[in-house]
Amino acid sequence: MARSKLNALVRSLTLVASVGAPCLAAAADLLPPPPPPPPPPIEVGGGWYLRGDVGASVYTRPKFSEAYDYTGYPDANRSFGNVVGGGGFAGVGVGYQFTPFFRGDITGEYRYSTGLRGSEYYRGPDFDNGLGSYGVNKSSGQFDSAVVLANAYFDLGTWYGITPFIGGGVGYAFNHISSFSTNQQFTSPTYGYDYGNPNYGCGCGAPSYNYAPVYDANGNPVYNTNSGSKFYKDKSSGSFAWALHAGLAYNVTDALKIELAYRYLNLGKAETGTGYVPCCTGTLQAIKVKDIEAHDVKIGLRYYLGGVIAAPLPPLMPEPVPGPLVRKY
């Protein structure tokens, strides 16, 4: 009797399971699908960055062209003191970080100088009694430049937020010389007739006198100085330029870097316009200034435009899912 009841219970449970399983499966089909996973963040700006720099410059001694020399004497008789005065500069640029160790940018800057100055001292010919002569040419003007450079840098790794780097660049310099003038002074012994030693020749007629140096009461030769000024027109001229960089960058944030760097910059050459003398007609040959080199110390900021933002969220209401098929028998 007990066994028959147990068999009846098992058969009942089996029947319920066989009937209820399809119903549970159909109910599961009616549930909405789970929401899709959120999309990955979107990067905006990539490795692009903006930069700005300010700094100070010290220039080496440039070379002046032969037009600056009014004497034609050999260099052994001359000495020079040409100089481009120190100045400052400011610039901006845009660049791209290609890899963690390599980046490049294009920069433009304006440079100014405290002045362009030149001097030439030369020894002139010797006159009677071994008295020599000498001359001094002095020039002054203003120099400024606008420079465009394409630069490449190699970042050498980061330690405690500091990244040393080296680099180089090539470009073009628009060099400008203005208000340029020269003053030439030539000093030589004074000569006059030696009236204390008349020469009567054959002993008849008026005496003649030798042309001899003039001495003062102390027996020192008397010198005189002749001077003249020349002026030159302003002119802008272009020249190939190149640079070498070395410095340190500090990571203020992931997007902001501050740089302290040294740069050697070769600005090529510049020249004045044609020259003139106020009292005279005609023109003078322009003066060329060659090998303009600067040693720069600069501070710069780099701001990276790259960043991530969250992707758009999926819609709150998912699209309707078609219901299960109903079969009729």
Q: Which helix (H) or strand (E) holds 10?
A: helix 2-30
- Per-chain mean pLDDT for the chain: 80
pLDDT reported for residue 312: 52
Residue-wise DSSP of 197-260? S-B-TTTSSS-B--EEE-B-TTSPBPEEEEEEEEEE--EEEEEEEEEEEEEEEEESSSSEEEEE
Q: Is the pLDDT of residue 293 over 90?
A: yes
Q: Please choose, from the candidates 270, 240, 55, the residue with its C-alpha nearest in 3D space to the C-alpha of residue 142.
A: 270
Confidence of residue 191 (pLDDT cuts 50, 70, 90): confident
What are the φ and ψ backbone dihedral angles of 149, each rounded to 5 degrees? Answer: -130, 145
Integer Cα distance of 94 and 191 in angstroms:
68
pLDDT reported for residue 190: 78
Q: Is the pLDDT of residue 26 over 70?
A: no
Q: Evaluate if pTM is beyond 0.75.
A: no
pLDDT in tens, 58-84: 999 888 876 666 556 665 556 667 788
Residue 47 CB neighbour total at 10 angstroms: 15
**Exposed, middle or buried: residue 329 (CB in 10 Å: 0-12, 13-18, 19+)?**
exposed
More confident residue, 232 or 27: 232
Residue-wise DSSP of 299-318? EEEEEE--EEEPPPPPPSSP
pLDDT in tens, 96-105: 999 999 999 9
Integer Cα distance of 90 and 227 in angstroms:
40
What are the φ and ψ backbone dihedral angles of 126, each rounded to 5 degrees? Answer: -90, 140
**Exposed, middle or buried: residue 78 (CB in 10 Å: 0-12, 13-18, 19+)?**
middle
pLDDT reported for residue 310: 44
pLDDT reported for residue 224: 80
Q: Largest Cα–Cα distance in the chain?
A: 188
Confidence of residue 179 (pLDDT cuts 50, 70, 90): very high
Do 314 and 36 touch, CB atoms closer than 8 A?
yes
Q: Which helix (H) or strand (E) holds 181?
A: strand 162-189
Tokens describing residue 247:
């410095």
128 DSSP 8-state letter: G
280 DSSP 8-state letter: S
Integer Cα distance of 13 and 197 in angstroms:
159
Confidence of residue 159 (pLDDT cuts 50, 70, 90): very high
Q: Is the pLDDT of residue 151 over 80?
A: yes
Beta bridge partners of 183: 138, 229
